[in-house]
Structure 1
Amino acid sequence: MNDETTNRVLMLSGDLVFGSRVKSAAERAGWGFGLGGRLPDGDLNDVRYVIVDLSTRSGIVGTIVGECSQRCPNAKLIAYGPHVQVPKLKAARDAGIESVITNGQFDAMLSTLFD
């Protein structure tokens, strides 16, 4: 990542393996990347994507939409999870997350997501 990065991806997940794949995709596009359990403190105006892993962070679904709209309003919010965890996917949609997809769908779009 260089000092001129103007776009950043925040991934809220406990999955370090998949997180490293998202980080690689972001960095290939010249974007910054952060991985954690919640939105970090500080300025988030450069955040363009907030990605929520419903397998490990479904507990934040109820608050993440409001927090993103206040702290990083330019970010697109994506939640993903296993297709068999229908209640988690539904809860994310019901909470107002604009893009709720399965792991397979997210994996398929990852190579071009930050283009």
Structure 2
Amino acid sequence: MTKPASQVLILCSDIMFSSQITGAARQCEYTFCTVLSTRQALAQLDDSIRQVLLVDLNQPSLNWDQLKSIHQEHPTLVSIAFGPHVDVEKLEAARAAGCTEVMPRSRFSAQLAQILQAALTEEV
């Protein structure tokens, strides 16, 4: 089996929303992996391929310290956090943890395919 050139890591336990993300990844022909914790995400990171980490800010097992460590240990990792636009505290916490981009869930959902393509095709 050959190694993928890029991969979408999905940190989201919402089955319905996660299926929307995996559908967009399939449509764009990206491989993907769903993880349920920042610890699992860390185990899947591979600096030899282009990866994007999608972080659902409603994820119950979200560990902010581990998320910050992920960004420190993998500085080229593109990470996109999304959550309710009214949850300003979580959106700010994601920025403080080092997420590359933070956006309301509605924008993320509406522009999902474009967001994935931009994250996985930009030069590091």
**TM-score interval (norm. to shorter):** 0.7 to 0.9
* Percent identity for Structure 1 against Structure 2: 28
Partner of 1:56: 59
Partner of 1:21: 20
Q: Per-residue deviation at 1:90?
A: 1.3
Please give the secondary structure, in 2, of the residue aligned with 1:56. Answer: coil
Partner of 2:114: 112
In the alignment, the residues of structure 2 paired with residue 92 and residue 43 of structure 1 have an alpha-carbon distance, to the nearest angstrom, of: 19
**Unpaired segments ≥5 residues, structure 1:** none
Match of 1:32, as an amino acid?
Answer: T
- Sort the Cα spacing of 1:57 and 1:100 in 2 relative to 1 into closer, same or farther, 3 A: farther
Partner of 2:6: 7
**Unpaired segments ≥5 residues, structure 2:** 118-124
With normalisation by structure 2, the TM-score equals 0.76
With normalisation by structure 1, the TM-score equals 0.81
In the alignment, the residues of structure 1 paired with residue 67 and residue 23 of structure 2 have an alpha-carbon distance, to the nearest angstrom, of: 24
Q: Per-residue deviation at 1:33?
A: 0.7
Deviation per CA, 1:70-103: give whole Å up to 9, x if none.
2x54421111100111111111112222211110
Deviation per CA, 1:16-70: give whole Å up to 9, x if none.
1111111111111121111111316356232520011001147323321322442
How do residues 30-69 of structure 1 correspond to structure 2 at under 5 angstroms? 30-38=29-37, 39=41, 41=43, 44-45=46-47, 46-57=49-60, 59-69=62-72
Tell me the number of residue pairs that the alignment of Structure 1 and Structure 2 aligns. Answer: 113
Runs (4 or more) in structure 1 with deviation over 4 Å come to none
Partner of 1:89: 91
